[in-house]
Each structure stands twice: as C-alpha cells, then as structure tokens.
Chain A
Amino acid sequence: MPALFFNIIKLLFLAMLFLFLWQVARAVRAHVGANPGTRTAGFAAEVVVLTGGGDPERVRLRPQGHVFGRSEDADIPIDDPYASEFHARVGVTDNKVIVHDLGSTNGTYVNGRRVTSPTTVVRGDTVQIGKTILEVR
C-alpha cells in the first residue's frame, strides 16, 4: 500500500475526531456559558410560590402541567381569597412554559400585565394569581 494512501486515511481520521469535538464543544458552551442566576430565555423548570402562607413553595413543572387555585382539588392549592377555585394552569409544551388563565374572576397577570390568551413565560418572569405571586425559575 502506498504511504500516501495511509497518510490520507490518517488525516481523515483526525479530521473526524475534531469534527466530533466541535459538535460537543458547541453544546457545552451553550450549556455552561448560560448563567442560571440571571434572567435568560431558557427553559424554566420550576415555579416558586412567593407570597401566601408560610415559606416559599417550590413546584417542579411536569409535562402535564399544574392547575393553581383556591380549591382543595387544585394541583397546587393556594390559600388566597382573591384567587378563583381553579384559577390558572401552568403547562409545558415543546419545552416552553405556558400560562393559561382558566376564566378566573380577578385575572392572571404575567409581569403585571393581564393575560387574555395562553402566554409563554421564561425564567425570571412573575405570574400573579389573586394576591399570590409566582416566580418562574
């Protein structure tokens, strides 16, 4: 076999190695570079109930979503006289967190603005239900 042939194979193999690493490096940079503490348009995973009785309650989002409301039967019962029985639903679709108002009396507010249609929220946004504030993290 001519040496040239092996040289080409060798270089092709090394090129494959670096092509592979390039792909991984791009993904690692995207992942590690993002600062989790600041407001980034990333995928939110948690909703924290900030006001209301007692300590802040952390709710880890699940694919089927959670219904927040005053009713005992809501997924996340909220002890707030200004909230409706079944006030709002926070669900996950295509890695996006979406807030649906369920026809509540006092409305659902995202960053202080009343929601009329299902609204996508990102990390750092606040959702107000009655007098209770939820923070998306």
Chain B
Amino acid sequence: MTRTAETGLIIAAAILAAVGVGIVEFTKDNWLNAQVVVTFGVFVIAFGGIQIAVRRWASGASSLLLPTVAFLTAIGFIEIYRLDGHLAAIQRWSMLIAAAAGVGLLWLLRNTGVGVLRRYRYVLLAVGVLFLMLPLLPDGWPLHGAVVNGSRLWVRIDVPGLDRVLSFQPGEIGKVLVTIFLASYLAERSEAMATIDRKIGPFKLPEPRHLFPVLVAAGIAFVILIYQRDLGASLLLFGLFIGMLYIATGRSFYLVTGALAAVAGGAAAYSTFSHVQRRIDAWLDPFGHFSDAGYQSVQALFAMGSGSLTGSGIGLGRPDLIPAAETDFIFAAIAEEMGLAGSLAVIAAFALLVAAGFGIAIRSRDLFRKYLAGGLTIVLALQAIIILGGVLRVMPVTGITLPFMSYGGSSLLANTAIIALLLRISDEERA
C-alpha cells in the first residue's frame, strides 16, 4: 500500500468516526452538532500527525498499521461517545496526547533506531517492574496506589489545592518496557536455550537453568495476581513471557510447561483467593450468580443476543445497562448496537493488525528486532484475546482493556507506543 493510500484510509477512518458521532447525535435529537466536526478533526490530527512523523523519520515503515489502528479507534470512540459524551471528550484529549507520544518516540529513535533500546535494557527492566509494582504504594502518600473495581492497578497523584487527582495505570507502560527487555535478553540467549540435550525417559528437557525464565515469569505474574488482584494483567504478562520464549527458541517445550504452570497456578489461585473463585464460578454459571458476580456477564450476553445480526443501530440500544461498557466491556456494547456484522469487523481488524505485526517480525533479520516486533504483537493480540474471551464467556472475565477501543488514556498511550515501535522496526527491516 502506498503512503497516499494510507492517508486515504486514515481520512476514511476519521469520516467513519464522524459519521458514527453524527448518527448518535441524530438519534438523540434529530439534529447534528459541532461534535461531528471536532471528532473528524481530532482523528485527522492524531493519525495524520503520526503519519507525517512516519514520512519524515521512518519513510520505509509499513503502511498497514496506522489505517487498522485508526479503524479500531474510530469504532471504539463511536461507542464511547454514544455511552457518555463527557468521557468521549476526555478520550479525544487522550488520543491527541497518545499521538504526540508516538510522534515523540519516532523522533527520539530517528537516528539511533530501536537498537539503542538494547543498551538500556536493564534500566528499562527496572523501570518496567517498578511501574508494574507502583500501584502497591500505600495510601496516604502523595503518590499512592488506588483500588478501582477491586483491582489495585491505579496510581494517583494528589496535587495540593486541586480537587481532581491525576490517576493512571503504570502497568500499561510497564508491559511495553518488559517486552523490550525480554527481546534483548532472548536475542542473546536464544541459541543456548533452544539446544535441548537432556532426556528423561521419553521427555527431552533443556538445561535446568533455562527453566529459570519460566519460573521468573510465573513468579511475577503471581505477585501481581496476589497483591494487585488483577487477573488480566497477570495472565497477559505470563502469556507474553511464554510466547516470546517460544518465538525465540521454537521449542514447544516452553508452551507445554507454560500451559501446565498456568493451570497449576490457576488451580492454586482458585482454592486460595476468594476473588478468583468468584470470577470462575460466575464464568461457569453466570445466571446462577445474577445478583452479584455474574451480573456483568449476563448483561453482556443479553446485549449481544439482542444485537443479533446487524445490531440495534448506533444510539438505539441499551448498552448503558452493561457495567463497565465503555472500558472492559466495550465489545459487548458494539455487538449490541452494530450486531454480529460490526463485531466481526472488529475481530477481523484485530486479526489484520496482528498479521501485519507478525509479518514485520518474520521479515526482520536482526534477532532483537524480530523478537521485539513479535513480542509487541503478542501484547496486542493477548490483550484482545483475554478481554474478548471474557466478554464472550469463552474464558473467565479478567479485567483488561481492549486495545485502542476501550476508554482509558494509559492504555491508549501504551498501545500507541507499541505501534510507533512496530513502525520503526518495519522501517529498519524493510525488505
């Protein structure tokens, strides 16, 4: 796809967002207002801005990523706008800030390339783990952790003299930093880790010290699960570790031990923690837990069921009945108002995004860039799988945002940074 075609599709996505906002306004009071124009403008500035940065500093970058991301952001934004105009206004600012961060990242790496990140990998690891653990800071400090919806993954900064506090989810950035570290760690060790020369009975085992990373992964995931009560983030990190080990070694051994460790960890968590137990019970029998833990799941099922094939039409359903419809459960809201057709479009867009991401990884010759592109794509894919699986009741509900679609600034910022890095890698490894 040429750059011109890319620009065309970005403008088309902005038009989609504007049309969606127009439909919402029209169903509300049979008239349009300035929101349509503002939305169009913000989309063009945000994604056009990133594209200009790409043209300047990464002119060989893949042109498949930005249109897909703009499409997902547009559909998510329409549904956020439909649910809560105030949140949508904040989300527009988040989009602009995230786009500015993406442009900044492309500018920073314009001469050095992503290779420079290798040099700072232990710093990045330290900062990443710090970010992941930051929500554990005790209450009462100026910078402190906060519990929202039962999970301790927020950090608040109290500004004296201000009523509103600044809050963000540092874990979102943390996962990107951890991915960078893993890519550079594995780029050096993958060969040693791929050699499997021990045999115990029919099973081939790698050196015990190569099991160490799997144990570290399980450990970090477990700490997050216990102290932050965040199932989604812990599953995402664990899946990322295992997925990257598999990419780097090509050994299914890591997938098998990873799956076994996950099942064992899940079973242990089920018998130990009440919040895990409630989630899993609600998953197996949501209607039996209608009045408490299963309520969200049941409302989502009703919403998706009433959406049918083509949906109720934007602005004509009742997605406001689903708890957390504008964040974690935005997919259920989309399925209600845009139907099976709209939700399949979303899933297809994610599949295309992941295909483009793995395409970049496959084409990369340098191992670090290959693993980094693969790992970043895994982060995007796993987030989508975990939350879509939860909404569709394929797996227990684990609170996590749907990339680019859910309301939330931290998530948008981190995922835009992922796209900026993928763009950069595809420029350096074009072939």
A contact residues vs B (CB 8 Å cutoff): 1, 6-7, 9-11, 13-14, 16-18, 20-21, 23-25, 27-28, 30-32, 36, 42, 44-46, 123, 137
Please state if B64 and A36 are interface contacts (CB–CB under 8 Å): no
- Shortest CB distance A44–B (Å): 8
Complex Cα–Cα for A48 and B311 (A): 55
Majority DSSP secondary structure for residues of A touching B: helix
Q: Are B71 and A21 in contact (CB under 8 A)?
A: yes
List of B residues within 8 angstroms of A20 by Cβ: 9, 12-13, 16, 67, 71
Report the Cα distance A46→B60, complex, angstroms.
Answer: 13
Interface string of B53-71 (1 = CB under 8 A from A): 0000000101110011001
Enumerate chain B interface residues (CB-CB to A < 8 A): 1, 5, 9, 12-13, 16, 19-20, 23, 27, 30, 60, 62-64, 67-68, 71, 75, 310-311, 313-314, 316, 338-339, 341-342, 345, 348-349, 352, 355-356, 358-359, 362-363, 430-431
Q: Residue of A at shortest CB range from B67?
A: A24
Cα of A44 to Cα of B63 in the assembled complex, Å:
17
Q: Is the interface of B mostly helix, strand, loop or mixed?
A: helix
Assess whether A27 is in contact with B64, with CB atoms less than 8 Å apart.
yes
A12, closest chain B residue (CB): B19
What's the nearest-Cβ distance from chain A to residue B322, in Å?
20
Bound Cα distance from A104 to B52, whole angstroms? 42
Would you call B348 and A13 a contact (CB within 8 A)? no
Q: Which 7 A-B pairs have the closest CB atoms?
A: A27-B1, A32-B359, A10-B313, A17-B345, A14-B341, A28-B352, A6-B313
Cβ–Cβ contact A16 & B30, under 8 A: no
Please indicate the chain B residues that have their CB under 8 angstroms from the CB of A9 in the complex.
Answer: 23, 313
| Docked CA distance A25–B355 (Å) | 10
Whether A21 contacts B16 by the Cβ 8 Å rule is no
Interface contact A31-B348, CB-CB below 8 Å: no
Q: Choose one: A17, A18, A32; the contact of B356 (CB below 8 Å).
A: A32
- In the complex, are the beta carbons of A24 and B9 less than 8 A apart? yes
With both beta carbons as reference points, the residue of chain B lying nearest to A46 in the complex is identified as B431
Q: How far is the CB of A98 from chain B (nearest CB, A)?
A: 18
Q: How far is the CA of A14 from the CA of B71 in the complex (A)?
A: 13
With A and B bound together, what is the CA distance between A17 and B345 in angstroms? 7
How close is B17's CB to chain A, nearest CB, in angstroms? Answer: 11
Beyond contacts A20-B13, A24-B349: 8 other A-B pairs, Cβ-Cβ < 8 A, are: A14-B338, A21-B349, A25-B352, A31-B1, A32-B359, A36-B362, A36-B363, A45-B431
Kindly report which residue of chain A lies nearest to residue B75, judged by CB atoms: A17
Complex: A44 Cα to B430 Cα, angstroms: 9
**In the complex, chain B residues whose CB is within 8 Å of the CB of A28:** 64, 352, 355-356, 359
Q: How far is the CB of A131 from chain B (nearest CB, A)?
A: 27
Q: With a CB–CB cut-off of 8 A, which chain B residues contact A31?
A: 1, 62, 64, 356, 359
Interface centre among A1, A11, A28, A42 (most CB of B within 10 A): A28
Known interface pairs A7-B313, A21-B348, A24-B64; A13-B355 also in contact (CB < 8 Å): no
Say which residue of B348, B356, B430 sits within 8 Å of A45 (CB atoms).
B430
A41 CB, min distance to chain B CBs, angstroms = 13
Name the residue on A nearest B338 (C-beta): A14
Contact B62–A14 (Cβ < 8 Å): no
Q: Which residues of B contact A11 (CB under 8 A)?
A: 310
CA distance A90 to B400 in the complex (A): 51
CB distance from B307 to the nearest CB of A (A): 11
Compute how far the CA of A101 lies from the CA of B345 in the bound complex, rounded to whole angstroms.
52
* Contact of B431 with A14 in the complex, beta carbons under 8 Å: no
Q: List 5 A-B contacts (CB under 8 A).
A: A24-B9, A24-B71, A27-B1, A31-B64, A36-B363
